[in-house]
Amino acid sequence: MSQLTSLRARKRSETWSALHDAAARLALDKGPESVTVEQIATEAGVSQRTFFNYFGTKEDAILGLQDPRIDEGLLAEFSVDHDLLEQVSKLLIAGVHSTEGGDPDASRRAEVLAAYPLLRQRRFAHFLQVEHLVRDVVAGALTGSARWQAALSRNSAADVARMIVLVAGAPMRYALQQAADSPTIDNQLRALDGATALLQEVLEEIR
């Protein structure tokens, strides 16, 4: 990474944090419904136009949320021919983590959500975005897999991918809960190992 690229990345991170800090602080002081984008931008020392370069809505700024991304490393290794449950769960966890903008202060987000539970709807909307992104990845991979052709002869790739993502979402949510006290991606992925094994045992018993 060049010095110029590094400087731009640091500046972007600082602006993102300034906007999120201002939005969360104003929301806790005044209530989210009373906060405007103009107030957040002014408090952070930037223009409203700059605000929308970083956040789609004031709620996203308050919670420190951004549009999800697919982890390129996980995507490069992804295959529907082995360990699919674990792989999809990892993609989901990484996707959820990407919505949080690398913000280490999960306690502040928890404080805002505890004070204003209706904001959970906005966070859930980001979870759905993650599911849709991962579902598209899985559906695309299924169509090129000889192993899955029998299933695809009876159902569409989109429907099969949706079911896979829904099943993989169970250990993902379990792992997020297990790592709630220290919600780093490393802790979440470690918790996922046990969650995936538990789900497989449960599935064997309830067939």
| pLDDT tens, residue by residue, 5-46 | 688 888 988 999 999 999 999 999 999 999 999 999 999 999
| pLDDT tens, residue by residue, 91-145 | 999 999 899 875 656 678 888 999 999 999 999 999 999 999 999 999 999 999 9
- The amino acid sitting at 66 is Q
* pLDDT confidence of residue 74: 93
Q: Are 90 and 192 in contact (CB under 8 A)?
A: yes
Compute how many other C-beta atoms are within 10 angstroms of the C-beta atom of residue 189. Answer: 17
What are the chain's domains? 3-63 (1.10.10.60), 72-206 (no CATH)
- Single out the residue of 96, 157, 164, 159 nearest to residue 130, CA to CA: 96
- Single out the residue of 170, 167, 160, 171 nearest to residue 137, CA to CA: 160
**What does pTM read for this prediction?**
0.85
Q: How far apart are CA 86 and CA 164, in angstroms?
A: 11
Q: How far apart are CA 128 and CA 138, in angstroms?
A: 15
* Residue 37 token pair: 């984008």
Q: Is 79 exposed, middle or buried (0-12, 13-18, 19+ CB in 10 A)?
A: exposed
